[in-house]
Amino acid sequence: MCGMVDAASPSANLPDDIGVLKSIIGEKSALLREQELRIAVLEEKLRLAQHKRFGASSEKFDPNQPGLFDEAETLSQVPDAGAAADGSTDVTIAEHTRKKGGRKPLSDALPRVRVEHDIPECDKLCPCGSGHTRPRIGEMISEQADIVPATVQVLQHVRFKYGPCHACDGVFPDAPDACDAPAQQDEAAPIATVEPHAAVVAEPRAIVVAPLPPQPIPKSIASPKTCAFVVTAKYADGLPLYRLEKILPRYGLSVARGTLALWMIRLGDLIVPLMNLMEETQLAHDVLQMDETTVQVLKEDGRAAQTKSRMWVRRGGPPDAPIILFNYEPTRSGKIAWRLTEDFKGYLQSDGYSGYDAVGKRADIVHVGCLAHARRYFDEALKAQKANGRGGLAVEALAMIQKIYRVEKIAREAGLSADARKKLRDEKARPVWDELRRWLDRVRNNAPPSTKIGKALGYLDNQWDTLIRVLDDGRLEVDNNACENAIRPFVIGRNAWLFSDTPAGAEASARLYSLIETAKACGREPYAYLAHVFAELPKATTLAEIDALLPWNVARPATHSVAA
């Protein structure tokens, strides 16, 4: 009975025709391959998610680490950036400089407070018994860092008032005498005031009051330095306003969070003239980098509170005075990229987001890609592999990309000019780019497109024409990292304050981030620069006065500034 077929077994329902059986086997095999591929993709996602949560976040590639699992020939097939055409290799080893140990000295720019210590008077007598005192032969100095917390003080703006002369007495007997005026007068009260040099013939009994200097926020308790302190804390240091609301009372100042938020909006409006000049200067130069990141705005018409909006960032301008501009927009539409570059002509560098495709096809735009994004795809493919994976294609790609970055590092550390950097790239980097292209053509179809390595190969292939354009001009960077680094302070702050309440708040944040990040890129200390701008910009009445307040036009302070 053991030779009988169980009627319940799957084979009992199979047909006897061999052709039909082959067809069924083919369908089952295809389904099995599809399921295996899906399982492999899901396992990659799981491993990558685990690595992002528990592993190192650095994308730095160490070719020796994959070598623990892979054969030596994997890397031996990749030529060095300095390899000659005949196959010989001339390697120059940089001189090794050992860092000096010990404590780092305190900056000479910090103010010094001399605190003297002397020995007791009884110890100043020489022990020889002569009765003479010891002569002072020198001094020993040791230094400590002494931090004085922020101090809140009240600025009393005393405005002197002047009344009519005594000759006016009796001319207007019903008019109050100047001495009868109250010592303090509310600014909103309807008192006749004139400028100090204005004629008073028409109203001889008019009271003349010294004008109050223009303020960054009129009728507010916030001085220019207070405004600079709050803006620096929120946008440069990433402190949300609800934390500042709790910090300020420690210094003796209590300000509601809503008031702080209103200050930010008013200050964002104040610096609009600076934003306009910065944008004009940026668009006048022919190299521009762009990127964008998410931001959440709670109260926006026609949009749910959970909807993600976008903060667009542009970095460009003169090489010695980089300009970084943030723009809040509700969407990531390519129309935004078009509008922000409408008046720009030249090289536009970005990642592979399709929203830049239409801009990149304009006759006056040359679209340049970002090698860091291509490298990131291969880095994720390597991290998504099994623990006993052999590296394979991801390691090969990363090794060649690393050689390109070595050339960039040499140019950066040597401070080469644009022409010299282009020459260096032609000599050292172009052969590696050519080898990378030949390698890509050979392995392009060796991995399923849905896998991490397949996506990495596809991205590199699709972006190749834009990536290789870095070799055309020495002013171009190999990646968009400078623009991404400008976004990083915003992302760090976003992790703390989470969202903007209104579009007006998001737009004010964009302007204030623009001013701070541009000031930092130009080597200006944010607090000192903002304090200067908030004090002088309200007084500026001409274009020249506003232009003088741009970050690159404001002189660096000679010494470290300490807030009063």
308-316/161-162 β-pairing: unpaired
Please state, in angstroms and as integers, the Cα–Cα distance from residue 380 to each residue in 49, 59, 111, following that order: 10, 9, 48
**Interatomic CA distance for residues 346 and 384, integer angstroms:** 38
Per DSSP, what are the bridge partners of residue 500?
A: 297
Q: Give the pLDDT of residue 67.
A: 41
Q: Give the pLDDT of residue 189.
A: 36
**Interatomic CA distance for residues 470 and 468, integer angstroms:** 5
Q: Give the pLDDT of residue 363.
A: 93
Q: Rounded to 5 degrees, what are φ and ψ at 156? A: -95, 110
Q: Give the pLDDT of residue 101.
A: 60
Positive or negative, the Cα torsion across 236, 237, 241, 247?
A: negative
Q: Give the pLDDT of residue 63.
A: 60
Report the 10 Å Cβ neighbour count for 325.
Answer: 26
Q: Rounded to 5 degrees, what are φ and ψ at 538? A: -60, -25
Please state, in angstroms and as integers, the Cα–Cα distance from residue 163 to each residue in 166, 181, 183, 333, following that order: 9, 9, 13, 62
**Interatomic CA distance for residues 388 and 185, integer angstroms:** 80
**Interatomic CA distance for residues 429 and 423, integer angstroms:** 10
Tokens 């294609």 label which residue? Answer: 393
Report the 10 Å Cβ neighbour count for 197.
Answer: 6
The ranges of the chain with pLDDT < 70 are: 1-12, 43-44, 47-48, 50-102, 169-205, 386-391, 557-564
Report the 10 Å Cβ neighbour count for 485.
Answer: 14
Q: Give the pLDDT of residue 371.
A: 95
Q: Give the pLDDT of residue 481.
A: 93
Q: Give the pLDDT of residue 128.
A: 85
**Interatomic CA distance for residues 191 and 214, integer angstroms:** 19
Q: How many helices (H) and strands (E) does the chain have?
A: 18, 7
Cα 204-205-207 angle, rounded to 5 deg: 115
Positive or negative, the Cα torsion across 211, 216, 217, 220?
A: negative
Q: Give the pLDDT of residue 436.
A: 95
Q: Give the pLDDT of residue 175.
A: 47
Instruction: Specify burial of residue 194 (Cβ count, 10 A radius: 0-12, 13-18, 19+).
Output: middle
DSSP state of 52: H
Q: Give the pLDDT of residue 389.
A: 52
**Interatomic CA distance for residues 393 and 451, integer angstroms:** 12
DSSP structure string for 163-206: ---GGGTTTSTTSPPGGGS-SS--TTS------TTS--SS-TTP
DSSP H helices, 302-392, are: 334-340, 357-360, 371-383
**Interatomic CA distance for residues 230 and 217, integer angstroms:** 13
CB 354 within 8 A of CB 334: yes
Longest dimension (CA), the chain: 139
Q: Rounded to 5 degrees, what are φ and ψ at 331? A: -130, 175
